[in-house]
């Protein structure tokens, strides 16, 4: 049986389980004429942000706030998240929110993971319309940097890695 906890800051309104299912808790509300009615428990809709993260909007009765599912799962089933720390998806997939796939890291380590992990091929694309050298290497670092065309995917990946090592030295593992 999965563990279910009340969400911090929303203890009277919402619960979360280890798989990321969020439910509103049963709530009595006052209606006209002094009567009360029960709003039953219901499962909330989780949506995907433009960056691929799963999120939900929670309310305290006055204002609505967006909460990211990976942070809620980590915070409730692993450990509190210290100030200045972020939650990294180990496999690089922002929609995989299993507890085993989440780790608490600094923002700098999160960026290192982005460039050294599975996403280091983000800037390498096959271009069948280009003659000869078909692999195009690009990197986004505040703006797009075109690193040129290469004969093989490995050469293009190497160009991306060389760019990171040369220009983003502060992000390299020490």
At 146, is the pLDDT very low, low, confident or very high (cuts 50, 70, 90)? confident
Give residue 160's pLDDT: 77
Give residue 119's pLDDT: 45
| % of the chain with per-residue pLDDT over 90 | 44
pLDDT reading at 110 higher than 70: yes
Give the contacts of 123 (CB within 8 A, at least 6 positions apart).
137, 138, 139, 140, 147, 160
Beta strands 102-106 and 124-126, pairing class: unpaired
More confident residue, 84 or 167: 84
Domains of the chain: 1-116 (3.90.75.20), 118-174 (3.30.730)
Give residue 130's pLDDT: 66
What are the DSSP E strand ranges found in the chain?
Answer: 4-6, 14-17, 22-24, 27-30, 36-39, 42-43, 47-48, 54-59, 64-68, 85-89, 102-106, 124-126, 135-140, 144-150
Beta bridge partners of 30: 36
At 117, is the pLDDT very low, low, confident or very high (cuts 50, 70, 90)? low
User: What distance in Å separates the CA atoms of residue 97 and residue 74, rounded to the nearest whole number?
Assistant: 9
At 46, is the pLDDT very low, low, confident or very high (cuts 50, 70, 90)? very high
pLDDT reading at 141 higher than 60: no
Flag the least confident range among 7-16, 113-122, 141-150, 152-161. Answer: 113-122
pLDDT reading at 140 higher than 90: no
| % of the chain with per-residue pLDDT over 70 | 80
Give residue 173's pLDDT: 35
Q: How does the average pLDDT of the chain come out, rounded?
A: 83
């Amino acid at each position: 049986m999965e563990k279910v906890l009340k969400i911090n800051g929303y203890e009277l309104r919402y619960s979360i389980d280890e798989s990321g299912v969020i439910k509103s808790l049963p709530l009595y509300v006052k209606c006209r004429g002094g009567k009360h009615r029960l709003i039953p428990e219901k499962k909330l809709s989780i949506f995907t942000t433009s960056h691929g993260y799963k999120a939900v909007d929670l309310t305290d009765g006055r204002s609505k706030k967006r909460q990211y599912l990976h942070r809620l799962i980590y915070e409730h089933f692993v450990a509190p998240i210290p100030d200045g720390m972020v939650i990294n998806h180990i496999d690089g997939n922002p929609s995989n929110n299993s507890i085993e796939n989440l780790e608490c890291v600094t923002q700098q380590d999160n960026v290192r993971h982005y460039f050294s992990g599975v996403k280091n091929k983000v800037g390498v694309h096959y271009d069948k319309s280009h003659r000869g050298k078909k692999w195009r290497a690009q990197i986004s670092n505040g703006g797009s940097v075109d690193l040129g065309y290469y004969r093989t995917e490995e050469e293009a990946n190497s160009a991306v890695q060389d760019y990171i090592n040369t220009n983003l030295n502060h992000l390299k593992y020490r």
